[in-house]
Amino acid sequence: MRKTPVALALAVVLATSACGLGSTASQEAATVTRVPELRPDQQVSIVFESYNFGQAGAWTDTFNELIGKFQQAHPNIHVTAQKPQGNSPNPATDTVPSIQAQMAAGSPPDVAQLGFSDLDFTIHGLGAKPLDDLVGKDAVQANFDGAKYPYAPTARTLGDWDGKTYGVPFVFSTPVLYYNASLFTQAGLDPANPPKTWDDVQQASQAIKARTGKDGAYLDCLTKSAKDWCFQALVRSNGGHVVSTDRKSLDFADAPAVEVVKMAQNMVNTGSTPKLTQQQGYEAFARGDIGMLLETSAIQAQFIKGAKDKWDLRATTMPTFGGKPAVATNSGASLFVFSQDPAKQRAAWELIRFLTSEDAYTTIASKIGYLPLRTGLLGDPNGLQPWAAKNPLITPNVQQLAHMEPWVSFPGNSYLQIRDGMMDAVEKAVYQGADPQTALTSARDAATSLMPAGR
Amino acid sequence: MDSRWRTIRGHAVLVLLGVLCVFPIYWLYATSLRRPGDVLSLSLLPWPLSLQNYADAAHKLDIVRLLVNTTAVALLTAVGQLLTGLLAAYAFAAWRFRFQRLLFLAFVGTWLVPFQVTMLPNYVLLFQLGLLNTLAGVVVPNLCSALGVLMLRQHLDGFPKELLEAARMDGRSSWTTLWTVVVPNLRPALAALTILLFVNAWNEYFWPAMVLQRSNAMVQLGLRSFMSAQEGTDWGPLMAVAGLACLPVFALYLVLQRHIVNAFVRSGLK
Amino acid sequence: MFVEVALPPPIAVPVAERPALVRRVLRAAPPYLYLAPALTLLVIWTYRPLVQTVQLSFFSWNLLPTQPMVPAGLANYERLLELPELGQAMLRTLAVIGGLLPFTVGIPVAAALLTRRIRGRARVVYRALVFAPMLVAPVASAAVWRWLLDPSAGAVNRVLGTTNNWLHETGSANLGIIGITGWHLLGFAVLVVTAGLAGINSDYSDAAQLDGATRGQVTRWITLPLLSPTLVFLTLMTVLLSAQWTFPLIDALTQGGPAEATTNVYYLLWDYSFHSYDAGLGAAAGIMLFLVFGLIAAGLVWLSERLTFHDD
């Protein structure tokens, strides 16, 4: 007698909860057609999601300013800004799960800023809309050309897949070697001649350590939280790849990558590089406690503030491995469209056009420090020329832009675990003394089983 | 003498423990009250005092709104949990009915269900109810607390049944009995429990972080966003925000210390 | 004058009797009605998601409405059990439990025993001090401990003269987390033990002392065994909940790092729930945690019945 009511209760709960989330039937993805322009009286509300909104500071303020300007220019479009849903300390790690959760609930954001490392999954997993189909290839290219200053040629294709543009690259940087010219002088080095090769960096670090007691160099490319954009730059500069060009196999356990890790491990073992986390590393540099830092220009403002009146901050291009040319990769993110509604898709495109316009880049570059992707602005007296003159720090970034290669995303649904597994192995080898070849090989073996089958 | 020595030893132990426990909290407030330039100072007393860190923090975060929101949410949650818990505990204590054990186990069982099991379906349901990005969305799913039910049941188990009987003889309904006989006699326990539930709700981070995406409307979220600030860790203002995040709870504690401690300790004992 | 006329016999008016069943239901209803609000909330916000998550754990799905849920049977659970990190995470969980026991049992018992004589105002003040960390929000605690343990600017290193990166070196990260969690719990544990001690009838120790037992013997053979319900309770709570108590701190301070040094089973499964992008796998991780939790809790409750020495 007792069992029946229990069974009944269970049945009720099961019945009410079944078909809660998804279904086993595959729904047809809506085909994407050209969306019409908005009528002037047509009111549209869109949601813009960016990890830059999650943290207190200049980014949030700058973005709010840009959105304010957009709404003034487009009074019929209302933009709600939000940060990625989730509770990680760094909102940038929540970007993809946030889109997933909101899609499960049935309302993804209309425009979202997602990193290049997620590109494959963004297009094939999350289903970002191909902009070429939404607004026409001409319109997309016209936006890249801009009113006066086009995108740098290497930057235009970063959000493309198989010839179609899915994402408009928004903000990125190349790895820049920032250095403390005051420490250089104290260590007897010439600040006008910064290190050109990694051997130079090691020697300079030893000199700084010996003569000033401060740490020599920190490469913010070798921990899991740093992601793999700048590690890819190092590996490419040494002639290797992390994933094969046909995207079918993983190459990060091959000799070039192993050498990179060995070089970094040696720097830690000889005391040139302190054992710090990413945040501790760049904060220590900002305080003037480290001689050199390989870093994105996105946090340049912090270094400028830390160096003000205390030490001389300068920047140069990435060091090379011996005689091989340095290959820079980009960090950063693109803007994608996720909405299904044609009016919102059109409004989303308008927002993207605005955020990647000359005006917006002028604001973003001068207030945050990211590289303006429309490099012509740097020569415009009404644009960024005055700012560029006062900020010689961007010169290396601009120089490297010309020969930049894309930050490659890993394929498949488990791409994040592949990437994290690789960077975990790198971190263990560099900072915890694990053997580079063994660590990378076992990471590669584990990751190979996560690669998508038959692509 | 032996007992004097033992007393001194006892005091020494407690002083040591007390200092170890309180020092980080003291250091938090001390750092926040130093001048921004003195933040790295190691002196035990912050002098000269300065509210500049608080001003800097208020510049970046709308602290007052955060505190108001959090107070509202914590209060509503605590009161809601108290009421549902009171009703449920009354049911368990005043009647003998079928499935009593099973239903009680159902309450205890919720403690075993980890957050990651419930978060996504609740997120989807909140969205369907239109409560995402609202403070109500933070409160509604948490209106029942297993802890509250358990504690109140314990208290009600010890409640003299004769009083209930007498009320029934008087012909009062169970509802009236609850509010005129039971509650007045349970006031201290109810007060202690409300404080406990308030503190728990105040310190809650994960569910609010899931629900409030459009703005850091609650103080723990604001504090967290400060910790990963883009311009690097500014220790002074960070300690100021952390201090403000704890201040209401500590203020309550200073006034109601005895009740709060009792409530926590009783909640731990069977 | 008045003639008594017999009143006609009253007509028996049949009172419509409520059917027996309805009456029984109405009589039994009140407790269920009182339980209704709490139960409804429980079912909607705890048990319904639990059932949904169980269902989801048997599929492979990346949460997008355009993609189908692919039935996967037990594959998700197998994948989790075969995780290379699982073994290490279990070891670290055991380390956390072992590391917290001094804070939840060892020190509190020693402190409670050593300070039995303190009474009155002093006791109230000490109690207030020792209990304060329990009220600090985990996020705020993370902020201040990050500040105290900062390698170059933090007070701990400056006072000790060391340069350890306490929370970010593999050797010390887990210890740091354990220490901070222990700091939170110490006051609570001390008070629980003190309350337990206060509940022990002093007749026993008095009788024993009359018989000539030393204080140490009394403590060892009488006080501690009579304290066993409290001690067992604290130990079991530590075993069951350590991983959960350390979780907010790990999430705020180390995110499982450096190189997984602070990743215990709870954090590992949490990480998989969020970052595997396969909702089925994440669901399986949550359910596995729930089942393991439940089993351990049941086992510990059974054990506690066996271990406690009651004053009957």
Q: What is the DSSP letter of A78?
A: E
What does the alpha-carbon distance between residue A43 and residue C234 come to, in Å, rounded to a whole number?
Answer: 61
Nearest to C248 by CA among C172, C166, C142: C142
pLDDT band for position B186 (50/70/90)? confident
Strand partners, A243: A250
pLDDT band for position B235 (50/70/90)? confident
Tokens of C116: 């039995």
What does the alpha-carbon distance between residue B168 and residue B94 come to, in Å, rounded to a whole number?
Answer: 11
Chain A hits for C169, Cβ within 8 Å: 275
Contact A60/B188 with Cβ under 8 angstroms?
no
What does the alpha-carbon distance between residue A36 and residue A135 come to, in Å, rounded to a whole number?
Answer: 8
Contact C284/A109 with Cβ under 8 angstroms?
no
Which class would CATH give B57-268? mainly alpha
A424–C259 C-beta distance less than 8 A:
yes
Output the DSSP codes for A124-180: HTS-PPPHHHHH-HHHHHHHHH-SS-PPPHHHHTTTEETTEE--EEEE----EEEEE
CA separation, residue C296 to residues A94, A116, C95, C240 (Å): 32, 43, 17, 7
pTM of the full predicted structure? Answer: 0.83
Among the partner-chain residues C56, C170, C274, the one whose CB lies closest to the CB of A97 is C274
Tokens of B57: 């923090």
Strand partners, A292: A179, A217
Residue A244 sits at the chain B interface (C-beta within 8 Å): no
Which class would CATH give A44-172+331-398? alpha beta
Tokens of A13: 């709960």
* A316: enclosing H helix or E strand: strand A313-316
Residue C169 sits at the chain A interface (C-beta within 8 Å): yes
Type of residue numbered C75: A
Residue C288 lies in a domain: no
Among the partner-chain residues B91, B227, B268, the one whose CB lies closest to the CB of C143 is B227
- Report the domain count for chain C: 1
Residue A336 backbone phi and psi in degrees, to 5: -125, 160
Among the partner-chain residues B98, B118, B238, the one whose CB lies closest to the CB of C46 is B118
CA separation, residue C302 to residues A334, C104, C234 (Å): 56, 21, 15
Tokens of B264: 């926590």
pLDDT of residue A190: 93
A106–B127 C-beta distance less than 8 A:
yes
Which chains border C (3 or more CB–CB pairs < 8 Å)? A, B
What does the alpha-carbon distance between residue A318 and residue A174 come to, in Å, rounded to a whole number?
Answer: 9
Chain A hits for B229, Cβ within 8 Å: 55-57
Nearest to A231 by CA among A261, A273, A208: A261
Q: What rounded mean pLDDT belongs to chain B?
A: 86
Burial annotation A400-414 (CB, 10 A radius, 16+ → b, else e):
bbeebbbbbbbbbbb
Nearest to A160 by CA among A418, A394, A406, A327: A406
B87 three-state secondary structure: helix
Among the partner-chain residues C47, C135, C297, the one whose CB lies closest to the CB of B199 is C135
What does the alpha-carbon distance between residue B113 and residue C294 come to, in Å, rounded to a whole number?
Answer: 9
Chain B hits for C279, Cβ within 8 Å: 120
The Cα of A242 is separated from the nearest Cα of chain C by a number of Å equal to: 20
The Cα of A84 is separated from the nearest Cα of chain B by a number of Å equal to: 7
Chains A and C form CB pairs within 8 A to the count of 121
Residue C162 sits at the chain A interface (C-beta within 8 Å): no
Type of residue numbered C251: D
Closest-CA residue of chain B to A281: B232
B21–C133 C-beta distance less than 8 A:
yes
pLDDT of residue A122: 92
Chain centroid to CA A382: 29
pLDDT of residue C1: 53
Output the DSSP codes for A46-65: EEEE-GGGSSSSHHHHHHHH
What does the alpha-carbon distance between residue C88 and residue C74 come to, in Å, rounded to a whole number?
Answer: 23
Output the DSSP codes for C263-291: --HHHHHHHHHHHSS-HHHHHHHHHHHHH
**What is the layout of strands, in order, in the sheet containing A313-316?**
A215-219, A290-295, A176-180, A313-316
pLDDT in tens, B37-55: 888 888 888 888 889 999 9
Type of residue numbered C171: G
Which chains border B (3 or more CB–CB pairs < 8 Å)? A, C
Burial annotation C272-305 (CB, 10 A radius, 16+ → b, else e):
bbbbbbbbbbbbbbbbbbbeebeeebeebeeebe
Does B60 score more than 50 pLDDT? yes
Strand partners, A16: none
Residue C137: give its domain's CATH number: 1.10.3720.10
- Residue C120, domain extent: 93-264
B120–C290 C-beta distance less than 8 A:
no
Q: Can you give the pLDDT of all 455 residues of chain A as single tens digits?
A: 444 454 454 544 454 444 456 655 555 555 677 888 888 888 999 999 998 886 667 788 888 899 999 999 999 999 999 988 877 777 888 899 899 888 888 889 999 999 999 999 999 888 899 999 999 999 999 999 998 999 989 899 999 999 999 999 998 889 999 999 999 999 999 999 999 999 999 999 999 999 999 999 999 999 988 899 999 999 999 999 999 999 999 999 999 999 999 999 999 999 999 998 888 898 889 989 999 999 998 888 889 888 999 999 999 999 999 989 999 999 889 999 999 899 999 999 999 999 999 999 999 888 877 788 898 888 888 888 888 888 888 889 889 988 899 999 999 888 888 998 999 999 999 998 999 999 999 999 989 988 886 43
Token pair 């039994």 is found at: C28
Tokens of A157: 């294709």
A90–B225 C-beta distance less than 8 A:
no
- Per-residue three-class SS string for B160-189: CHHHHHHHHHCCCCHHHHHHHHHHHHHHHH
Residue B61 sits at the chain A interface (C-beta within 8 Å): yes
Chain B residues 170-209 within an 8 A CB cutoff of chain A: 205-206, 209
Cα end-to-end distance, chain B, whole Å: 39
Contact C231/C105 with Cβ under 8 angstroms?
yes
What does the alpha-carbon distance between residue A424 and residue A413 come to, in Å, rounded to a whole number?
Answer: 19
Nearest to B32 by CA among B245, B241, B248, B227: B241
Token pair 């902020």 is found at: C143
Residue A286 sits at the chain B interface (C-beta within 8 Å): yes
Among the partner-chain residues C64, C151, C252, the one whose CB lies closest to the CB of A126 is C64
C165–A100 C-beta distance less than 8 A:
no
Residue C101 lies in a domain: yes
pLDDT of residue A15: 47
Tokens of C263: 């990743």
Chain C hits for B141, Cβ within 8 Å: 41, 44-45
Enumerate residue ranges in chain C where pLDDT < 70: 1-18, 307-312
The Cα of A285 is separated from the nearest Cα of chain C by a number of Å equal to: 12
Chain B hits for A17, Cβ within 8 Å: 121
Chain A residues 80-119 within an 8 A CB cutoff of chain B: 80-87, 89-91, 98, 101-102, 104-107
Task: For the beta carbon of residue B81, count every other beta carbon within 10 angstroms.
Answer: 28
Chain C hits for A289, Cβ within 8 Å: 152
Chains B and C form CB pairs within 8 A to the count of 256
Domain ranges of chain A: 44-172+331-398, 176-329+410-448
Burial annotation A257-286 (CB, 10 A radius, 16+ → b, else e):
bbbbbebbbebbeeebbbbbbbbbbbbbbb
What does the alpha-carbon distance between residue A379 and residue C217 come to, in Å, rounded to a whole number?
Answer: 88
A103–C63 C-beta distance less than 8 A:
yes
What does the alpha-carbon distance between residue C256 and residue A89 come to, in Å, rounded to a whole number?
Answer: 12
Type of residue numbered A272: S
Residue A125 sits at the chain B interface (C-beta within 8 Å): no
C151 three-state secondary structure: coil
The Cα of B50 is separated from the nearest Cα of chain C by a number of Å equal to: 19
Among the partner-chain residues B205, B213, B229, the one whose CB lies closest to the CB of A56 is B229
C70 three-state secondary structure: strand
Most B-contacting residue of C63, C125, C144 (CB-CB within 10 A), to test interface: C144
Closest-CA residue of chain A to C272: A417
A111-115 and A44-49 beta bridge pairing: parallel
Type of residue numbered C80: L
Contact B268/C192 with Cβ under 8 angstroms?
yes
Tell whether the torsion through CA atoms of C105, C106, C107 and C112 is positive or negative: positive
Does B9 score more than 80 pLDDT? yes
Contact A311/A288 with Cβ under 8 angstroms?
yes
B28–C132 C-beta distance less than 8 A:
no
Q: What is the DSSP letter of A192?
A: T
A215 three-state secondary structure: strand
The Cα of C198 is separated from the nearest Cα of chain A by a number of Å equal to: 42
pLDDT of residue A19: 43
Nearest to C297 by CA among B113, A258, A15: B113
Nearest to B110 by CA among A6, C293, C250: C293
Chain C residues 160-179 within an 8 A CB cutoff of chain B: none
pLDDT of residue A140: 94
pLDDT of residue C26: 78
The Cα of A325 is separated from the nearest Cα of chain C by a number of Å equal to: 32
The Cα of C216 is separated from the nearest Cα of chain B by a number of Å equal to: 14
Chain A hits for C67, Cβ within 8 Å: 26, 125
Tokens of B118: 């419930």
Cα end-to-end distance, chain A, whole Å: 57
pLDDT of residue A1: 40
Domain ranges of chain B: 1-50, 57-268
Instruction: Tell me which of 3.40.190.10, 3.40.30.10, 3.40.50.10680, 3.30.410.40 is the CATH number of domain A176-329+410-448.
Output: 3.40.190.10
Contact A189/A204 with Cβ under 8 angstroms?
yes
Residue B123 sits at the chain A interface (C-beta within 8 Å): yes
Token pair 């917006």 is found at: A360
Residue B226 sits at the chain A interface (C-beta within 8 Å): yes
pLDDT of residue B152: 87
Chain C hits for B245, Cβ within 8 Å: 137, 139-140
CA separation, residue A21 to residues A27, A367, A388, B176, C46 (Å): 14, 43, 52, 43, 16
Half-sphere exposure of B19 (CA within 13 A, CB side): 6
Does B83 score more than 90 pLDDT? yes
pLDDT of residue C215: 75
A335 three-state secondary structure: strand
Residue of A112 and B160 predicted with greater confidence: A112
Residue C63 sits at the chain A interface (C-beta within 8 Å): yes
What does the alpha-carbon distance between residue B205 and residue B201 come to, in Å, rounded to a whole number?
Answer: 9
Contact A26/C67 with Cβ under 8 angstroms?
yes
Contact B202/C137 with Cβ under 8 angstroms?
yes
Chain B hits for A305, Cβ within 8 Å: 231
A83–B232 C-beta distance less than 8 A:
no
Token pair 């009146």 is found at: A309
Among the partner-chain residues B7, B117, B270, the one whose CB lies closest to the CB of C290 is B117
